């Protein structure tokens, strides 16, 4: 920050210039600045002052080359532009990396295996110390091939054979807790609106729902429509649900876009949320959940936390080859807005 005017006396100032100006060797400068070797407090101080005065800034490339450690984490994501999910993961990763003195190098694969391979190669060439492999939707997918130079941790996806560290949302728990919320509000005629894809998010939430219903002595009813899980799917699901169960009072919806469709259907029928229909959802896409009227009560997917956990994990694993790779399910926070109430009857 201080612009002493002394900076850059005819060229970039490196450790050598500092050494010269302080009247010591480069070794001493290195030691003084890193605090590693033994340097007298006096010289250390002088070196630091001189360095600051000269506006010295270490060249991390040079030290990376020497240390065989770049201080850079490779972040590969399958998709970055469609939802704010990617941003939340990146942000979490970003901030954790920053606290660990590391930086993120971000690449995107667009879910193309060829691009993925090429991008991982780029990251490897940049000597990244670890690889974060993030997917925007919870999936089970093999860990990326071709990165052997350090730990790999998967974010929002997991390895079929659980060999890589990974963190995913606890889907089943979401299902249980969402249903419990409705149950506690006094609902009995609850239906779960979802899509029929064989992915962990669908299966987990559904399983959790069934579990909670059965636990309450109720018959679970699940309406699964063809995906993708958007507002149109939500409308279709609602139509089918009401056809079969005209007296339902609450729905647990797979995700926020579908919930938006549920609201649309309710409006068209002149039924009010939450007066005539309570809804709990999953995602907390604020663009939807906070803008809907009434606000949507929904479980936040823990993208930020998954990103930061993954970085912490990766950082701990760097340099410890055989460390146990832990796989974690993250609990999801409920964001209460206005879409759940006691049933009328």
Partner DNA sequence: CTGAAAGCGCTAACAT
Partner DNA sequence: ATGTTAGCGCTTTCAG
Q: What residues make contact with its own copies under the rule CB under 8 A?
A: 1, 57-62, 64-65, 70, 72, 75, 80-84, 86-88, 90-91, 94-95, 98, 103-108, 117, 119, 121-127, 230-231, 235, 257, 260-261, 264, 267, 285-288, 290-293, 304
Q: Which is nearer to its own copies, 88 or 173 (CB)?
A: 88
Chain centroid offset of residue 275 CA: 34
261 binds, among its own copies, DNA, none (CB under 5 to 8 A by kind): its own copies
Paired sense of beta strands 278-283 and 297-300, if any: parallel
Residue 147 phi/psi, 5-degree rounding, is: -135, 100
Any contact of residue 58 with DNA (CB under 7 A)? yes
Tokens 């009401």 sit at which residue?
242
Chain centroid offset of residue 162 CA: 19
Q: How near is the Cβ of 118 to its own copies at its closest, in Å?
A: 8
Q: Pattern 13-52, binding to DNA, x per CB under 7 A?
A: -xxx------xxxxxx-xx-xx-xxxxx-xxx--------
Largest CA distance in the chain: 87
49 binds, among DNA, its own copies, none (CB under 5 to 8 A by kind): none
DSSP, res 278 = E
Q: How near is the Cβ of 302 to its own copies at its closest, in Å?
A: 13
Q: Which of 48, 53, 63, 331 binds DNA (CB under 7 A)?
A: 63
Helix (H, G, I), strand (E, B) or coil at 16: helix
Helix (H, G, I), strand (E, B) or coil at 166: strand
Q: How many Cβ atoms are within 10 Å of 107's Cβ, its own excluded?
A: 17
Alpha-carbon dihedral of residues 46, 50, 51, 53, nearest 10 degrees?
140
117 binds, among DNA, its own copies, none (CB under 5 to 8 A by kind): its own copies
Token digits of residue 70: 């770049």
Q: How near is the Cβ of 64 to DNA at its closest, in Å?
A: 8
Q: How near is the Cβ of 293 to its own copies at its closest, in Å?
A: 5
Cβ atoms of 255 and 85 within 8 Å: the answer is no
Q: How many Cβ atoms are within 10 Å of 194's Cβ, its own excluded?
A: 27
Give the interface segment with DNA, choosing from 60-68, 109-117, 229-237, 265-273 (CB under 7 A): 60-68
95 binds, among its own copies, DNA, none (CB under 5 to 8 A by kind): its own copies
- Residues of the shown chain interacting with DNA in the complex, contacts defined by CB under 7 A: 12, 14-16, 23-28, 30-31, 33-34, 36-40, 42-44, 57-59, 62-63, 65-68
């Amino acid at each position: 920050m201080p612009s002493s005017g002394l900076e850059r006396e005819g060229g970039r100032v490196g450790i050598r210039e500092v050494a010269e100006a302080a009247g010591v060797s480069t070794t001493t400068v290195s030691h003084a600045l890193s605090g590693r070797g033994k340097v007298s407090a006096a010289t250390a101080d002088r070196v630091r002052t001189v360095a600051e005065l000269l506006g010295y800034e270490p060249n991390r490339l040079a030290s990376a080359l020497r240390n065989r450690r770049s201080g850079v984490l490779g972040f590969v994501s399958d998709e970055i532009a469609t939802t704010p999910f990617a941003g939340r993961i990146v942000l979490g990763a970003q901030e954790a990396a920053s606290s660990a003195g590391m930086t993120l190098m971000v690449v995107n694969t667009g879910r193309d295996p060829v691009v993925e391979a090429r991008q991982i190669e780029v990251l490897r060439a940049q000597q990244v110390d670890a690889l974060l492999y993030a997917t925007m939707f919870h999936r089970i997918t093999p860990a990326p091939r071709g990165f052997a130079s350090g730990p790999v941790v998967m974010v929002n996806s997991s390895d079929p054979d659980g060999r890589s560290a990974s963190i995913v949302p606890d889907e089943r728990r979401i299902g249980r807790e969402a249903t419990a919320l409705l149950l506690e509000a006094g609902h009995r005629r609850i239906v779960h609106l979802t899509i029929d894809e064989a992915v962990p998010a669908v299966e987990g939430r559904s399983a959790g729902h069934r579990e909670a219903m059965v636990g309450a002595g109720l018959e679970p009813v699940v309406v699964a429509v063809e995906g993708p899980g958007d507002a149109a799917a939500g409308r279709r699901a609602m139509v089918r649900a009401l056809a079969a169960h005209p007296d339902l009072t609450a729905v647990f919806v797979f995700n926020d876009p579908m919930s938006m469709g549920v609201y649309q259907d309710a409006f068209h029928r002149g039924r009010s949320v939450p007066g005539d229909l309570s809804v709990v959802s999953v995602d907390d896409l604020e663009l939807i959940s906070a803008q809907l009227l009434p606000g949507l009560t929904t479980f936040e997917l823990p993208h930020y936390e998954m990103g930061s956990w993954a970085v912490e994990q990766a950082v701990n694993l760097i340099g410890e080859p055989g460390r146990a790779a832990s796989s974690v399910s993250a609990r999801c926070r409920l964001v209460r807005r206005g879409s759940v109430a006691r049933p009328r009857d």
